[in-house]
Amino acid sequence: MSFASRSPIVAEDRLLHILTRLVELDPDGGSEHLCQLSAEVAGVTGAGIMLMSDDPFPRGALCSTDSVSALIEELQFTLGQGPCIDAFRDDQVVSEPDLAGPTSVRWPALCPPLLAAGARALFGFPLRVGGIRMGALNLYQDRPGDLSAAQHADALSLAYVSARVVLSQSGDMDLLQAGPGADFHLVVHQAAGMVSVQLGVSLAEALVRLRARAFAEDANVDAIADLVVGRSLRFT
């Protein structure tokens, strides 16, 4: 299903249920409970929200519900692949109901560590309001299998509500109320700027170089960025 031309049609009863539950979790309607709400309403094991834009950088995770969903967001940021990346880039729902036996391997570096951590199925839903895109909602299950029709409909509604909440707070990204598991990878953005200057390349290329170095050394991209910012690692 594509979101290229408009926001999804959200069933009124689902929307009412989601908004009621969001107010129960946070009367101020903040964003820090969006992942908890998403996992609960969609009936999945966990959820995460990655903020993105059309520039080279994913902004990072707004929230995540548990250690596995945090790992999913971290690996997507480090590797530049995964359901949120694809959902945002292609502007449509992304579904992988069986990580252990996919019909086509689209995330070769992502699947092994996620399987080891206990994830068995991944789903990505774009966050969009009208013509404004801002990221993607990621859902995961600890067992293989596709989402039911009801779960899929709930996830579309959750993505719509999440997008509206994020949009209402995103005049300045610093004002977003980050939830549990939030990680905006500020050191990576700083390091990418430094590598860009060191190599005389674009920020997009600098981020690719950081990711490649992290992947080659089986390291977290934040750890490589720390070395760059601390001036103990220089790209030449």
Domain edges within the chain: 12-175, 186-229
CA distance 118 to 208: 28
d(CA 44, CA 147): 9
pLDDT computed for residue 1 by the predictor: 34
CATH architecture of the domain with range 12-175:
2-Layer Sandwich (3.30)
Q: Model pTM?
A: 0.71
How far is residue 8 from each of residues 26, 51, 116, 226, measured CA to CA in Å?
A: 24, 19, 34, 40
Contact (Cβ atoms closer than 8 angstroms) between residue 166 and residue 52: no
Q: What is the pLDDT of residue 37?
A: 93
pLDDT of res. 119:
97
**Structure-token pair, residue 138:** 């990621």
User: pLDDT means per 10 residues in the chain (236 residues)?
Assistant: 44 78 75 89 95 68 92 88 92 95 88 95 92 90 96 93 80 47 62 83 78 78 84 88
Provide CB contacts within 8 A for 235, sequence distance 6+: 195, 198, 199, 206, 209, 213, 228
pLDDT computed for residue 10 by the predictor: 59
